[in-house]
């Protein structure tokens, strides 16, 4: 028979086991599907397991993926699409119906544990949807209760742009337009339901926007000497990731919720980018992801300077390089895997494989800003009909974008669709890049450092 002292220790151990099981330091993966060349859900689940992931987040409730995840040990996070948040926010029956169709048939063989209401809604959706996030979260939570699915926690993911100020971390403050009407009730909901603030954290972006003042090693967790001490909190930081997370911690504190737990919903580093995108390479991506995994899986948990010892459950972004994601080249190159299932670089999401066991990494060649001219030309092998539509779009923007490719003008010949589109793309991009235009055109265009000008036809360029 156990004596009382041993019995007390046993119950303490049991309690610690249960609480650590609830929010373990295991790392998961974001499984995006914006590619026309990706492996099947069944193959993808095997690949996820081979990477050592313990969790997976998808950006919808895809039934094929949820079926493929049945009878695995992977904890699963699913998502209500942004487009239906407004309807669900005012209609409990619709929320019930969504849960009945997208959760009930798969639970409990598929370990659905988290349900996010929208993805970066504040960053990517019309303003009128913002105010419906929390009402929709409440409706979905009510629906889960109705069906007895009380283990599933409800949240929503937020990017760093919801902050008005993030530096120094102690100055972290939510934007004034959303703090009281949206974020405060959301934090109240998360606190009451014991859920998480799901945060997307990408040190790559602040570093790439200001590489002169932010040290690359500090962003990659590689610095041994660079430290920053917050002048107000007196907390000392050794990496950019902690700074970013703590700015959210302080922002939540200002709204009266200092203890809402944070879940890293997305973090990662791009393995390729456009010519004008600094530091997007395999070396940096592998270095960042390996280091952040070491931090996130450390036992005992490291936490951050503002929350030492707190577990930060997480999902790395992303499983694949996704060729249909819009925007700059980095958007399509955050994957740990190529679409054929092979590794972009060696990685183990469990954090158990030492770096020395991986193949050597290729040396980075774009850690300094590109200096020179860049042109935007039609990509090879693209659909002619789509290219024609993109050409028409570029030429319709005014500013005499396409005057030189009119019949009889200096760039009309050679009279080919690819030539005319290439001129139009370069002309459009050179004029409108400062206003936010990209050299993408739905995947029909690509950047080049090789001057495509020919004869009397001089292509406009972007000079960096």
What residues are labeled active site? 120, 266
Question: Which phi and psi angles does 154 have, rounded to 5°?
Answer: -110, 135
Alpha carbon distance 453, 455 (integer Å) = 7
Which of the 8 DSSP states describes residue 345? S
Question: Which phi and psi angles does 67 have, rounded to 5°?
Answer: -70, -40
Point out which residues pair with 30 in neighbouring strands.
Answer: 57, 317
Of the CA atoms within 13 Å of residue 159, those in its CB half-sphere come to 13
User: How many beta carbons lie within 10 A of that of residue 142, not counting itself?
Assistant: 14
CA separation, residue 116 to residues 80, 187, 265 (Å)? 6, 14, 10
Alpha carbon distance 381, 207 (integer Å) = 34
Q: Cβ distance 140 to 94 under 8 Å?
A: no
CA separation, residue 171 to residues 165, 241, 306, 411 (Å)? 6, 16, 13, 54
Among residues 409, 410, 404, 448, which one has the least CA distance to residue 427?
404
């Amino acid at each position: 028979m156990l004596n009382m002292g041993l019995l007390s220790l046993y119950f303490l151990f049991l309690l610690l086991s249960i609480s650590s099981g609830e929010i373990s330091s295991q790392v998961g993966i974001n499984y995006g599907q914006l590619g026309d060349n990706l492996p099947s859900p069944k193959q993808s689940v095997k690949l996820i397991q081979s990477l050592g992931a313990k969790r997976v987040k998808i950006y919808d409730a895809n039934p094929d993926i949820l079926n493929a995840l049945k009878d695995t040990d992977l904890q699963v996070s699913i998502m209500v699409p942004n487009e239906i948040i407004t309807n669900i926010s005012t209609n409990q029956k619709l929320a019930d119906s969504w849960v009945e169709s997208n959760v009930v048939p798969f639970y409990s063989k598929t370990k659905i544990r988290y349900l996010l209401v929208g993805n970066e809604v504040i960053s990517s959706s019309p303003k009128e949807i913002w105010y419906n996030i929390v009402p929709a979260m409440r409706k979905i939570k009510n629906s889960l209760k109705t069906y007895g699915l009380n283990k599933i926690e409800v949240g929503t993911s937020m990017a760093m742009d919801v902050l008005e100020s993030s530096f120094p971390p102690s100055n972290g403050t939510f934007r004034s337009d959303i703090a009281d009407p949206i974020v405060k009730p959301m934090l109240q909901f998360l606190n009451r339901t014991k859920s998480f603030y799901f945060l997307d954290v990408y040190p790559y972006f602040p570093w790439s926007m200001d590489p002169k003042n932010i040290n690359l090693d500090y962003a990659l967790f590689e610095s041994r000497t660079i430290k920053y001490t917050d002048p107000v909190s007196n907390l000392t930081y050794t990496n950019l990731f902690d700074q970013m997370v703590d700015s959210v911690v302080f922002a939540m504190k200002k709204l009266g919720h200092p203890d809402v737990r944070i879940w890293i919903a997305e973090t990662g580093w791009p393995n390729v980018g456009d010519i004008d995108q600094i530091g997007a390479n395999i070396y940096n991506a592998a270095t960042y992801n390996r280091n952040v995994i070491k931090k996130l899986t450390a036992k005992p948990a490291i936490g951050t300077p503002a929350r030492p010892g707190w577990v930060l459950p997480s999902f790395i972004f992303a499983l694949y390089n996704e060729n249909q994601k819009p925007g700059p080249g980095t958007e399509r190159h955050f994957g740990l895997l190529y679409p054929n299932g092979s590794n972009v670089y060696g990685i183990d999401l469990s954090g158990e494989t030492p770096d020395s066991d991986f193949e050597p990494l290729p040396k980075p060649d774009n850690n300094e800003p590109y200096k020179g001219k860049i042109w935007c030309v039609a990509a090879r092998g693209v659909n002619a009909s789509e290219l024609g539509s993109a050409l028409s779009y570029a030429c319709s923007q005014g500013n005499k974008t396409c005057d030189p490719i009119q019949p009889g003008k200096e760039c009309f010949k050679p009279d080919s669709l690819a030539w005319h589109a290439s001129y139009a793309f370069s002309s459009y991009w050179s004029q409108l890049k400062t206003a936010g235009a990209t050299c993408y055109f739905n995947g029909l265009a690509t950047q080049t450092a090789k001057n495509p000008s020919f004869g009397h036809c001089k292509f406009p360029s972007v000079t960096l």
